[in-house]
Amino acid sequence: MIMDAYVKSLTANNITTIEFFHPQSNSMPGALLQQLADEIKAAGANSSSAVVIVKSGGEKAFCAGASFDELIAIKNEEEGLAFFSGFAKVINAMRTCPKLVIARIQGKCVGGGVGIAAAADYAIAVTNAEIKLSELAVGIGPFVVGPVIERKIGLSAFSQLAIDASSWRNADWAKTYGLFTELYPDIASVDKAVSKLALFLSNSNPSAMQEMKQIFWQGTDHWDRLLTERAAISGRLVLSDFTKQAIQKFKSK
C-alpha cells in the first residue's frame, strides 16, 4: 500500500520532532512545503519545546526536492513564484526559528533537500546520504536554496554542486565541507545520535541557545526578500520550452 503524503509534529520531553513524507522519494509539492514551514514556526513559538528535529519518513531518500508534477503544471510567473517560494518559506522558518534545529538525514538529498539540510543548525546523516543539486539539469538553477547552501559550505563548494548538476557527492564530501556534522553507518545509529544531542539541548539554557542561534544567522535578515527574488527567477525559467522539455526527459528516466 502506498502511503499518503503528510507532515506531522510531536512535542515530548521538551523536544519537537517534525516529520514530512511523500511517496515519491519525499519530493515536495507546494502544499507540503507550506505545512512544513508552518510546523517549524509553531515549534519555534511552543514554550514546551527547547529544540527541533526535522526528519523525513521512510528509509531511502531524505528529500528529492521539488515535485516535478507541480513544476510541469506551472502556467505563469505568478504560479512559478508561488511554487518556488515554498522552499524559501521552509528555509526562512528554519532560519528564524528561535530554537536550534537538528536535521536527521537518512538518505539522499536532491535540490531543495540539500537546502533543508543546509538550513539546519546541525545535520546528522547516514554514510550513504549522497547529495546533488540537479536544478541546472532540468533547465533552472539552485537559486532559492543557493544562499543557505553557500552560507554553510562556501562559494567554491556550492559552485561545484550547482555547475556539475548531474553528479552525486558522497556523505564524506558533504561532511568535509560542513553540510553534514556527523556520519553514521545506519539509520539506527543516526537516530541514537540525534536523540542524544536533542536530549542534551532539551536540558540546556533556552536563552543561551536562542542567543547562539541569532549569532549563527547574523547577516541574513534580508533573506525574506532575497529568497523571494530568487524564487521569481526560477518561476520565470520554469516557463521556458527548454525547461519544460528537460523536466519531461528527467521524469521519463
pLDDT band at 68 (very low <50, low <70, confident <90, very high): confident
Q: SS3 of 20, please? A: strand
Q: SS3 of 4, please? A: coil
Vertex 111: Cα angle to 105 and 251 (nearest 5): 110
Q: SS3 of 251, please? A: helix
Domain ranges in the chain are 6-202
CA dist., res. 229 & res. 234, Å (int): 9
CA dist., res. 165 & res. 181, Å (int): 23
Cα dihedral: 55, 60, 62, 63 (round 10) = -130
The yes or no reply on domain 6-202 and CATH 3.90.226.10 is yes
Query: Could you please report the per-residue DSSP string of 104-117?
Result: EE-S-EETHHHHHH
Percent of the chain with pLDDT over 90: 89
pTM of the model: 0.95
CA distances from 69 to 2, 219, 222, 247 (A): 17, 35, 31, 9
Here the cell at position 159 is: 559552485
Residue 191 has pLDDT above 90, yes or no: yes
CA dist., res. 20 & res. 7, Å (int): 4
Range of weakest confidence among 70-74, 92-96, 124-128: 70-74
Q: Cβ contacts of residue 57 below 8 Å, gap of 6+?
A: 3, 6, 19, 20, 21, 26
pLDDT in tens, 111-170: 999 999 999 999 999 999 999 999 999 899 999 999 999 999 999 999 999 999 999 999
